Amino acid sequence: MSADNKASPSLEEISSVLAKMIADKMEIDLATITPSSNLTELGLDSLDTFDIIFNAEDHFKIKVPNDQVNIETLQDVTALVHKLILSQQK
Amino acid sequence: MATQKPYSRVVVTGMGVVSPIGNGLAELSQQLFAGVSGIKKIDAPFAEQLSCKLAAQANFDPAAHFSKHTYSMLDRTSQMALHTSIEAVKHAGLSVNETLQPRMGVYLGTGMGGASSVEEGYVRLFKDGASRLKPFTVLMSMNNAAASAIALEFQTTGPNQTFSTACSSSAVAIGEAARAIRHGYADVMLAGGAEALLTFGTIKAWEALRTLADEDQADVSRSCKPFSADRSGLVLGEGAAMLVLESLEHAQARGATIYAELAGYGSANDSGHITQPSVKGQAATMQAALFDADLPPQAIDYINAHGTGTVMNDATETAAIKQVFGGHAYNLSISSSKGAHGHLMGAAGALEAVIALLALNSNTLPPTINLAQPDPACDLDYVPNSAKTLPSLDCVMSNSFAFGGTGAALIFKKYALKN
């Protein structure tokens, strides 16, 4: 893939990108989103979460398997994306 | 639930519209009776790749009406359907509360549903080589997405159905919705249609059918010429129109303004040819509506014709009107508003029902614009080129016919206490 010459993004960087995606999609203030924010409480339903994961796949050039469960907070998505970047970037 | 429910009379108490000649009843009415055309060269990135560049586009910006979260999950068709539903409910002064929700439903007509979402998916997959599609692709493309969005907005749990009979889809939806009220399945129905198919692929498919109008070299806005000897075809349009239909009892109980009674609905099939209309099918459609309304042909003062501007339709429809109405065909007035707003396909019947209702409520008949050359095969009164007032206007018919053969006619009558 693409990351030969640069380090993988940090958890903070991933979290910040995802928070911006959520703020943009849900039209909410970025400042109200923290790593522990619960996605449902931010107004996302399961389809909205799929959409965020879809956009994250594009942005980070990863592929999220279909069997991912237990995504409740921004932190959960961040950790998932981070894990997949490390395992899928070659 | 009542076991014995008498047949209810059905009345129209609200309307909402997005059309190529104006959004909202005031703007539509003003442009319609002034004979303004909404047909132009299409404003789209693919315009130069079309051999027929004409379209009747609606000036509709979803961001002006919905949050990004709402509109980004809806195809343009559903956006316009939802917006016009909200407008119709406002116009009706209807409070959709917990008592009403189980007794209120949505019937919607659309020919191609989420056409632009389908096309966007194909472009991504086949042209851009993407390995996957957006998660909302199915939900935005499916034909019943618009009716579903409306039910979600108003939390209505009454019947919710989508009708797809090509160009008659929304006339069928309105007629069937009236039956649902008459038969006691609902007290209030939101009924109408929406269509947004001005995509590159869809227009190309229509070009191949050779039914689209040639550009008028002097003035492109005059390219669609229903009933005129020099007519060359239809112009594709987009938009939505929704009506609030209500049982007479329900409307009276809440003191609603009644814009008309939906007195009759008939549907029949051409069963002749996949595209060519038949006098037999069109006449059967109009006869079925008259029978349903229990009215003689002489009761009809005005017909908003299907009048697509194709050589075949307009002559066939004229012959069918003569067959149904006999000598009265020469007394009544007929017009096609498609020369102004183009052919809205699945939304055409609903927009033209609204136009028939505007005529009824203003005693004014909309003109057939661009009728410059009389055709011997079309020798009735088509209200050529300028609107006409008719103080005695009482009862109007709106015709919709379709590829595939399904016709639908709606009869609206000024509401009177006695029937």
pLDDT (tens digit per residue) in B129-138 = 998 899 999 9
Q: For residue B397, what is the domain's CATH number? A: 3.40.47.10
> Do B135 and A25 make contact, defined as CB atoms within 8 angstroms?
no
Nearest CA to CA, how far is B43 from chain A (Å)?
Answer: 28
Interface test with B, best of A1, A25, A39 (most B CBs within 10 A): A25
pLDDT of res. B416: 83
Single residue among B253, B275, B298 that ends a domain in this structure: B253
Of A26, A50, A54, nearest to B69 by CB-CB distance is A26
Shared domain for B195 and B273, answered yes or no, is no
Shared domain for B219 and B83, answered yes or no, is yes
Single residue among B253, B287, B317 that ends a domain in this structure: B253
Give the Cα separation of B311 and B313 in Å (integer). 6
Structure-block tokens of residue B319: 């012959």
Residue B67's closest chain A neighbor by CA?
A27
Report yes or no on B195 lying in a domain: yes
pLDDT (tens digit per residue) in A21-69 = 999 999 999 999 999 999 999 999 988 999 999 999 999 999 988 876 6
Domain extent, residue A81, equals 14-88
B328 is catalytic: no
Report yes or no on A67 lying in a domain: yes
Mapping DSSP onto H, E and C, the string for A24-64 reads HHHCCCHHHCCCCCECCCCCCCHHHHHHHHHHHHHHHCCCC
Shared domain for B147 and B215, answered yes or no, is yes
How many domains does the structure of chain A reveal? 1
Shared domain for B124 and B30, answered yes or no, is yes
Residue A5 pLDDT level (bands cut at 50, 70, 90): very low
Give the Cα separation of B181 and B104 in Å (integer). 9
> Do A51 and B132 make contact, defined as CB atoms within 8 angstroms?
no
Chain B contacts of A48, Cβ < 8 Å? 69
Report yes or no on B2 lying in a domain: no
pLDDT (tens digit per residue) in B277-297 = 999 999 999 999 999 999 999
Shared domain for B236 and B286, answered yes or no, is no
Does the interface ipTM go beyond 0.90? no
Report yes or no on A8 lying in a domain: no
Report yes or no on B190 lying in a domain: yes
Q: What is the DSSP letter of B125?
A: I
Structure-block tokens of residue B20: 């190529």
pLDDT of res. B346: 98
> Do A47 and B136 make contact, defined as CB atoms within 8 angstroms?
yes
Report yes or no on A6 lying in a domain: no
Chain A contacts of B132, Cβ < 8 Å? 54, 57
Domain extent, residue B124, equals 10-253
Report yes or no on B90 lying in a domain: yes
CB B18 within 8 A of CB B79: no
Q: For residue A39, what is the domain's CATH number? A: 1.10.1200.10
Shared domain for B299 and B232, answered yes or no, is no
Single residue among B223, B253, B283 that ends a domain in this structure: B253
Structure-block tokens of residue B204: 């190309």
Shared domain for B159 and B59, answered yes or no, is yes
Report yes or no on B402 lying in a domain: yes
Structure-block tokens of residue B309: 């501007």
B343 is catalytic: yes
Report yes or no on B204 lying in a domain: yes
